[in-house]
Amino acid sequence: MNGAQNNLIKKGYQWLDDRLHINSLVEYMSSKAVPQHSHSIFYYLGGITLFLFIVQVITGILLLMYYRPGADSAYESVKFIVSEVSFGWLIRAIHSWSANLMVLAAFLHMFTVFFTRAYRKPREMTWYTGMGLLALSMTFGFSGYLLPWNELAFFATRVGTGMAGAMPVIGDYLMVIMRGGEEVTGATIGRFFGLHVAILPLLTTGLLTLHMIFIQRQGMSEPMNWAGKKQEDKKYMKFFPNFIYRDALVWLVALNILALLAVIFPDGIGVVHWPLGIKADPFAAPPAVIRPEWYFMFAFQALKMLPAHIWFLEGELFGIIVFGLGGLIWMLIPLLDRRANENKRSPMIMAFGTFVVLFMVVMTIVGYLVE
Amino acid sequence: MSDNNSRRNFLSWLTGLGSLAFLGSIIYPAYKFLVPPESGEANVSQVKLPFTRSEIEGEEKKAKTFKFGRTLGLIVLTGEGELKAMSATCTHLDCTVQHRPDLGIIWCSCHNGRYDLDGKNISGPPPKPLELYIVNEIKGEIFVSKETA
Amino acid sequence: MIKFILIFIGLLLFSINGFGSDNNCMSCHLDLEDEGGSASKFAKDIHSQKGLGCADCHGGDPTLDDMDDVRDSKGFRGVPNHLEVPDFCARCHSDAAYMHDHNPSMPVDQLAKYKTSIHGQRLFSAKDKKVANCVSCHSVHEIGDGQMPYSSTHPSNLPATCAKCHSDKDYMTEYKIPTDQFEKYSSSVHGLALLERGDLGAPACNDCHGNHGAAPPGVSSLAAVCGVCHALEAELFEKSPHADAFLENDFPMCETCHSNHAIFKLSDNMIGTTESALCTECHAADDGTIGLPTADSILTSLNNLVMAHLDAKQSLDEAILKGMMTTNEEFLLKEVDQSLIQARTLIHSFNMDSVAPKAMEGIAKADTVMVNSAGLIDEYYFRRKGLAVASLVITFLAFMLYRKIRKIEQK
C-alpha cells in the first residue's frame, strides 16, 4: 500500500516536472546553504513572522465573511461572530492572538538582525523592506483594533489618532483624514476597514514579495566573525530539505501554541486582551484607564511623561519629532553603519541599539505600572 | 530486517493518518464557520418579527412581545388598525409592560404605570417614556427598527 | 459690610423682578433682620418668581419710605397669627378669578379641603394653635411648588416636612397618636425607594393620606388607596374570598398583612401553614375553610418556581464564568423573573388555581435556561477536548518531523 502511495506521488511529481521543470528549482534550493552557528536560531524568526502572517490572512478572510463595517453594525456583527457562528469565537481568538504574536515576532526579528548587523552590504534593501513591513504590521494592528467598535477600541483610537494630530504642520489634516472627520465616528470605521482589508494587504504583499526575493537571491547572512575564517571551518546546512524541514517543525510548534492560547484564553490574557465588552458610545465617559496596544505603549508612555513645554515647542510635538528622527535613524542604519561593511566593530551603533531596546522595555513597563 | 521494515511502514502510515487529522482539525472549524448559523445574519438596528399581523390580531390583548437585540419589545395593534412597537421594559422598575386594549393604554401591572400608545408615560410611577420603534410592513412581514440618529 | 452686600443683592434681585424703587420694603426689612431671615429668602419663593411682591400678601403701600406710614396705609394686613393664616392665603388661593390670571391650571379648593382635614377641623373649631396650617408645611417665604427640588413639599422632602411635628414626641403628647411613622416609613420599601434610591414614583405621606385634606385612609378605602399603584393586587383581592371576610370582621384590607408605615420587603414565608406564616393568624386546620390547604398549595407552587429560578441562575452563572456567550439565556432568565413577580402578585387571589399555572410557566422557562446553560457548559468542555485532540495531532506530527530531520542529518 505504501509502495503504491509513493508511486503515485512520484508520478505526480514527474508530471509537474515535465511541464514546470521543478527539478531545477529543487536543485537550486538544494545548492543553497544556511550557515550553522550559535545564533542560527535567529534565522527562524522571519519564518515565524511569515507563518503568523499567513494565519492572519486566512482567519482575516474568514472573519470578513460576517463582519460588517459601520457604527451600527460593526459591534453587532463581531458579537454575532463570537456568539452565533460556529467556531467564530475561535477564529476571532486566533486572529487576535496571531496579530499580537506576529508583531512580537517581527520586533524580535528586527532586533536580532540589528544586533547581528545582518543589514550590512549587500542586504540593505532587505532591511528597508523589513522596516516597511514592520510599520505595516503596526498599522494593521492599529486599524484592526477599532473594527469591533467596542468601548476599549473606541477610546484607544480616539487617543491614538489624537496623538497623530499633534504632528507638526500636517497633524490636523492627517487626523481629519484618518478619522474621516473631526471625531472618531462610523466614518472612521469605514476608513480603517478599507485600510485593514485592502490597502495594507496590497502593500504588504508587494513588500513581502520583495523581501522574500532578496532573501532567496542572497541567502542567509553569515555572522560578522566568519569573515576571516577558512572555508572548512564554516559549518553549513542544506536549505533544502534540512532547513525547510526545521522551518516546518517550528511552524507546527507555533501553530500548537497559537491553538492553545486561542482556546484557553480566547479574550487574551493580562494587559494583552481584547474582550468584546460593551459597544462604543461616543457620549459615554471614557474608562479610567485608556491604553493602546502593548507595542505602542512605549511611545504612548514617553509622550505622556514629557513636560507640557520643551524650549519653545509643545511637549507632545517635541516627542513626536524625536520619535520621528529616531525612527529615521533606525531605518537608515545600513547607511550610517559604514564600519559594518568593512567588518569592523561599531560600538556607537551597538550602544544606540542597546539604548533603544532599554528605552522601549522600560517605558513599556512604566506604562503598565502607572495608571 | 522485515521487522524494521514493518515498523517503518506502520510509522509512515501513522504519519499519513496524522497529516489527515491535522488537515481535518484545520478544515473542520473553517468549514463549520462558513456554514451560516440559524439566525442568518447579525441583526443590527432592525428585526423581522417571527409572526404576522393576523397573529397579533388573534391575541387576546392585541399585542405580542419580541426580542430586539438585548431588549424585549412590544408590538401593539391599535383600535385604528395601526401597528406600534416600543420597548417592553417599564422605565420604573424594569417590569414587562402589556397592552390594555380595554383602556387603550400600555400598562405596567407592577405599580399601575401607564403609557399611551406612543409610549409616553401618562400616569403612575414611570419617570420616562418607553422607547418607540419604527414599524414597517412589507408583503405581510413586519420589520421593526430603531430610530437612527 | 455684609448688610450692604445683602442690600445690594436684594436690590439686584428685585430689580430683576421688575420692582425697582416701587418696593421699599426690603431696604428696611433686610436691615432689621438677621442674616438668612425670611425676607432674604423670598427670591426663591414661587410668589416672587411669579412677580408678586411683599404688598401683594401683606398689603400696604410699598412705595412709602417710612415704616410707620406703611402700617397706616390703605389695605395693610401685616403678619397674620397662626389661626389667621389659612384665610390669609385663601384670599387669593380660593379666588378662582384671581388664580386664573396667575396660574389657570391650579386648583382653588385647598381651603375647602383643609377644613375637612384633622388639621383644619382642630384649627377652626378648637382654635388649636399647634396643628399645621399652610405655612407649617409650605414654609413662610420659601414657598415652592412640589416640582422644585428645594421645596418642603417636593416628594423627597415631604416625609421630613410632616415628621417635623409628627415625630416630635413632646409636641404630639396631647394628641395621643404614635410618633414613629417617619422612622417606620424611612425603613419601609416605600421610604427606601423614595429617600434612598430617589424613585419619585414611590409614595410619600401625602400619596396615601392626601395633602390638604390630610386624614388617615378609612378601613374600607384602603384597597383603593394602595390600589392606585398596586392595581392588580387590589383587583385580585377584591375578587378573592378574603374581600368579604375582611369587611365583615372590620379588618383593614392591605394593612392586615402588610402593615401601614413599616411595609417591609416581602418574603414568601408570609404565606403557608407554618407559625411564621400570616395565614395561621386567622386560619386553623379545623376552621371549616379551605384556607390552609390553599395557602399550602400556593406556597408549594411558589417554592418550586423559586427553586427552579435559583437552579437556572446557578447554571447560567457557571456558563458565564466559563466565558460562554449567554445573551439568549440571560434574556430568558429575565422572563423567569417576570413570572416570579406575576406569580407572587397572583397570591392576592388566594386561589390555588391561579398561582399554579403561572408558576408552571416560569418553571418551564427556567428549565430551558438550565438545559441551554448545561449545553453551553458542555460546549466549553467540548472545546477543550477538541483542542486536546488537535494539539496532540500537531505534537505527533512535529515529533515525526523531528525524527525525519534527525534521520537525514545522520547520513
Task: Determine which of C62-66, C141-145, C182-186 has the lowest per-residue pLDDT on average.
Answer: C62-66
- Chains in contact with A, where contact means 3 or more Cβ–Cβ distances below 8 Å, are B, C
Res C249 pLDDT > 50: yes
Q: Indicate whether B41 belongs to any domain.
A: no
Residue A194 grid cell: 478599507
Q: C227: distance to nearest CA of chain A, Å?
A: 39
Provide the pairing of β-strand B63-68 with B71-77: antiparallel
Please, which residues have CB within 8 angstroms of residue A303's CB and are 6 or more apart in sequence? A163, A315, A316, A319, A320
Each residue's pLDDT tens digit, C64-82: 877 788 888 878 888 888 8
Contact between A242 and C408 using a beta-carbon 8 Å cutoff: yes
For A17, other C-beta atoms within 10 Å of its C-beta total 14
Report the residue of chain C nearest B68, measured CA to CA. Answer: C331
Q: Residue C6: its pLDDT value, please?
A: 57
Give the alpha-carbon dihedral of A161, A164, A169, A170, to 10 degrees: -60
Same domain, yes or no: B30 and B60: no
Residue A75 burial (C-beta neighbours within 10 Å; 0-12, 13-18, 19+):
buried
d(CA A356, CA A114): 11
Q: What is the pLDDT of residues B71-87, one digit of tens each?
A: 788 999 888 888 899 99
Predicted local confidence at residue C74, as pLDDT: 79
From chain A, pick out residues whose CB is under 8 angstroms from the CB of B16.
Answer: 5
Distance CA C184, CA C191 (A): 8
Cell 431588549 belongs to B71
Whether residue B15 sits in one domain with residue B50: no
Is A259's CB within 8 Å of C384's CB? no
Say if residue B71 is in the same domain as residue B13.
no
- Residue A189 binned pLDDT confidence (cut-offs 50, 70, 90): very high
Grid coordinates given for C82:
397662626
Write the ipTM: 0.82
Mean pLDDT in residue range A126-146: 95
Dihedral sign, Cα of residue B88, residue B94, residue B95, residue B100 = negative
CA distance B95 to C28: 58
Alpha carbon of residue C79 to chain centroid: 36
Compute the nearest-CA separation of B44 from chain A (Å): 5
Rounded average pLDDT over A297-320: 84
| pLDDT score for A206 | 96
User: For residue A162, what pLDDT is reported?
Assistant: 87
The mean predicted confidence, pLDDT, of chain B is 84
State whether residue A83 is helix, strand or coil.
helix
Provide the β-strand partners of residue A83: none
- The answer, for C388 touching chain B at a CB cutoff of 8 Å, is no
Number of inter-chain CB pairs under 8 A, A vs C: 42
- Given a cut of 70, whether residue A5 has pLDDT beyond it is no
Subunits in contact with chain C (3 or more CB pairs closer than 8 Å): A, B
Q: Is B15 in CB contact (< 8 Å) with chain A?
A: no
Clarify whether residues B94 and B137 are in a common domain: yes
Which CA distances in Å does B110 have to A70, A206, A250, B75, B80?
39, 65, 64, 20, 28
Distance (Å, rounded) from C-alpha B72 to C-alpha C393? Answer: 46
Query: Under DSSP, is residue A47 helix (H, G, I), strand (E, B) or coil?
Result: helix
B70 occurs within a structural domain: yes
Which stretch of A29-38, C24-33, C183-192 has the lowest confidence by average pLDDT? C24-33
| Residue of A5, A72, A91, A189 to mutate, testing the B interface (most B Cβ within 10 Å of its Cβ) | A72
A265 contacts: CB under 8 Å, gap ≥ 6: A93, A97
The band of A233, judged by pLDDT with boundaries at 50, 70 and 90, is: confident
Output the pLDDT for position A61: 96
CA distance A99 to A52: 7
**Residue A247 and residue A44: Cα distance in Å, rounded?**
7
Specify whether B70 is located in the same domain as B140.
yes
| Cβ atoms of A348 and A339 closer than 8 Å | no
Residue B128 lies in a domain: yes
Q: From C131, C109, C107, C127, select the one nearest C119 (Cα to Cα).
A: C131
Kindly identify which residue of chain B lies nearest to residue C201, measuring between CA atoms.
B125
Q: Is residue B129 part of a domain?
A: yes
Nearest CA in chain B to A2: B9
What is the rounded radius of gyration, in angstroms, for the C-alpha atoms of chain A? 23
C118: pLDDT strictly greater than 90: no
Across A138-152, average pLDDT: 93
Partner residues linked to B143 by β-bridges = B48, B136
Q: What is the nearest CA distance from C374 to chain A, expressed in angstroms?
A: 16
Mean pLDDT of C9-16: 51
Dihedral, CA of residue C132, residue C133, residue C134 and residue C140, to nearest 10:
-80
Contact C223, C234 (CB under 8 A): yes
A40-219+239-276: CATH topology? Cytochrome Bc1 Complex; Chain C (1.20.810)
CA-CA distance, C7 to B140, in Å (whole number)?
A: 73
- Pair B50, B95 in one domain: yes
In order of A235, B68, B115, the CA distances from A226 in angstroms are 10, 69, 86
How far apart (Å, rounded) are the C-alpha atoms in residues B69 and B88? 13
Residue B113: enclosing H or E segment and its boundaries? strand B113-115
Please answer yes or no on whether C230 and B19 come within 8 Å at the CB atom. Answer: no
| A76 with B39: Cβ contact below 8 A | no
Same domain, B60 and B11: no
Decide if C25 contacts C127 (C-beta within 8 A).
Answer: no
Residue-wise pLDDT for A199-211, tens only, equals: 999 999 999 999 9
Domain residues for the domain of B11 are 1-35
Interchain pair B19, C397: CB under 8 A: yes
Residues of chain C contacting B127 with CB distance shorter than 8 Å: 199-201
For B127, which of C200, C345, C396 is closest by C-beta distance? C200
B32 at A interface, C-beta within 8 A: yes
Tell me if A141 sits within 8 A of A156, measured CB to CB. Answer: no
Q: What value does the mean pLDDT of chain C take?
A: 83
Give a yes or no: residue B137 inside a domain: yes
Q: Quote the CA–CA distance of C159 and C211 in Å, as a whole number.
A: 12
Other beta carbons within 10 angstroms of residue B104's beta carbon come to 11
Instruction: Tell me which chain C residue has its CA closest to the CA of residue A249.
Output: C398
Q: Rounded to 5 degrees, what are φ and ψ at A353?
A: -60, -45
Evaluate if residue C388 carries a pLDDT over 60: yes
Residues B69 and B117 reside in one and the same domain? yes
Pair B27, B65 in one domain: no
B28 and B64: one domain?
A: no
**Residue from the list C201, C386, C394 with its beta carbon closest to the beta carbon of B111:** C201
A151 and A281 in contact (C-beta within 8 Å)?
yes
Q: Specify which residues B136 forms β-bridges with.
A: B143
What percentage of chain B exceeds 90 in pLDDT? 11
Contacts of A280 by beta carbon, 8 Å cutoff, 6+ apart: A75, A149, A150, A151, A153, A154, A155
Indicate whether B103 and B130 sit together in one domain. yes
Comparing A285 with A126, the larger pLDDT belongs to A126
Q: How many alpha carbons lie under 13 Å from residue A254 in its C-beta half-sphere?
A: 24
CB A90 within 8 A of CB A101: no
Cα A274 off chain centre by: 18
- How would residue A240 be classed by pLDDT, with cut points 50, 70 and 90? confident
Strand-strand pairing, B71-77 and B83-87 = antiparallel
**Sequence-ordered list of residues with C-beta below 8 angstroms from that of A352, at least 6 positions apart, any chain:** A329
End-to-end CA distance of chain C: 107
Collect all residues of chain B within an 8 Å Cβ-Cβ radius of residue A77.
Answer: 42, 44
Q: Do C199 and B125 touch (CB under 8 A)?
A: yes
Burial C238-254 (b: 16+ CB within 10 A, else e): eebebeeebeeeeebbb
Centre a 10 Å sphere on the Cβ of residue B147 and count the other Cβ atoms it contains: 9
Residue extents of the structural domains in chain C:
291-410
Tell me how long chain B is. Answer: 149
Do B56 and B20 belong together in one domain? no
Provide long-range contacts, Cβ within 8 A and 24+ apart, for C380-387.
C380/C319, C380/C322, C380/C323, C380/C324, C383/A90, C383/A263, C384/A263, C386/A263, C386/B25, C387/A259, C387/A260, C387/A263, C387/A264
